[in-house]
Chains A and B, each alone.
Chain A
Amino acid sequence: MSFIEVKEASKTFLQKDKLFTAFEDITLNIEKGEFICLLGPSGCGKSTLLNAMAGFDLVTKGSIAIDGQEVKAPSTKYVTIFQNYGLLPWRSVQKNVELGLEQKKIPKEKRAEIAEKYIDLVGLSNFKKVHPRQLFGGMQQRVSIARALAVDPEIVFMDEPFGALDAITRMKLQDDILKISREEKKTIIFVTHDIEEAVYLADRIVILTPNPGKLKCVYEVPLGQHRDRTSGDFLQVRDKIFQLFNMKPDNKIEYII
Chain B
Amino acid sequence: MKKLISVKNVIVSFAVLILLWQLLFSISHFNEALFPSPVKALKALLEMAGDGSLFRHIGTSMYRFAAGYISSIVVAVLLGLILGWFSKVFQYVNPVVQLLRPISPTAWMPFIVLWFGIGDIPAIVIIFIAGFFPVLLSTVAAVGNIDPIYFKVSKNFGIRQPALMWKVIFPAAFPQIANGIHLALGTSWIFLVAGEMVGTQSGLGYLIIDARNNLRTDILLATIVVIGIIGLLLDGLLKVLEKQILKAWGGAEQ
Contact B155–A90 (Cβ < 8 Å): no
Interface residues on A, range: 20 to 34
Contact B163–A103 (Cβ < 8 Å): yes
Q: What are the interface flags for B147-182 relative to A under an 8 Å C-beta threshold, 1 for contact and 0 otherwise?
A: 001101101111100010001100110100000000
A123 at the binding interface (Cβ < 8 Å): no
Contact A86–B171 (Cβ < 8 Å): no
Quick one: which of B150, B153, B167, B168 has the most chain A CB within 10 A? B153
Residue count of chain B within 8 Å CB distance of chain A: 19
A161 at the binding interface (Cβ < 8 Å): no
Contact B174–A90 (Cβ < 8 Å): yes
A170 at the binding interface (Cβ < 8 Å): no
Contact of B251 among A56, A76, A134 (CB under 8 A): A134
Bound complex: CA A131 to CA B167 (Å): 16
- Taking CB atoms and an 8 Å cut-off, the chain A residues in 120-171 that contact chain B are 131-134, 151
B179 to chain A, nearest CB (A): 16
B249 at the binding interface (Cβ < 8 Å): yes
A66 at the binding interface (Cβ < 8 Å): no
Q: Quick check: which of A77-85, A109-117, A221-229, A242-250 contacts chain B, the rest being far away?
A: A77-85
Measured between beta carbons, the chain B residues less than 8 angstroms from A173 are none
B148 to chain A, nearest CB (A): 10
A54 at the binding interface (Cβ < 8 Å): yes
A212 at the binding interface (Cβ < 8 Å): no
Contact of B152 among A56, A91, A102 (CB under 8 A): A56
Measured between beta carbons, the chain A residues less than 8 angstroms from B95 are none
Which of chain B's residues has its CB closest to A130's CB? B250
Using a Cβ cutoff of 8 Å, how many contacts connect chains A and B? 63
Contact B156–A54 (Cβ < 8 Å): yes
A62 at the binding interface (Cβ < 8 Å): no
- Taking CB atoms and an 8 Å cut-off, the chain B residues in 184-234 that contact chain A are none
A213 at the binding interface (Cβ < 8 Å): no
A68 at the binding interface (Cβ < 8 Å): no
Measured between beta carbons, the chain A residues less than 8 angstroms from B153 are 82, 86, 88, 99
Q: What are the interface flags for A56-90 relative to B under an 8 Å C-beta threshold, 1 for contact and 0 otherwise?
A: 10000000000000000111100110101010111
Contact A80–B152 (Cβ < 8 Å): yes
Contact of B250 among A75, A80, A133 (CB under 8 A): A133
Contact B251–A82 (Cβ < 8 Å): no
Measured between beta carbons, the chain A residues less than 8 angstroms from B152 are 56, 74, 80, 82, 86
Contact of A88 among B155, B158, B171 (CB under 8 A): B171
Contact B171–A131 (Cβ < 8 Å): no
Bound complex: CA A132 to CA B155 (Å): 20
A40 at the binding interface (Cβ < 8 Å): no
Measured between beta carbons, the chain B residues less than 8 angstroms from A133 are 250-251, 254
Contact of A151 among B155, B157, B249 (CB under 8 A): B157
A100 at the binding interface (Cβ < 8 Å): yes
Instruction: Given the known inter-chain contacts A82-B149, A103-B163, please indicate yes or no for A131 contacting B251, CB distance below 8 A.
Output: yes
Contact A90–B171 (Cβ < 8 Å): yes
Contact A86–B150 (Cβ < 8 Å): yes
Which of chain B's residues has its CB closest to A104's CB? B158
Binding site for A on B (CB under 8 A): 149-150, 152-153, 155-159, 163, 167-168, 171-172, 174, 249-251, 254
Contact sample, A vs B, 16 pairs, CB 8 Å cutoff? A73-B155, A74-B156, A75-B158, A76-B156, A80-B156, A82-B153, A86-B152, A90-B171, A100-B157, A103-B157, A104-B158, A131-B250, A131-B251, A132-B250, A133-B254, A151-B157
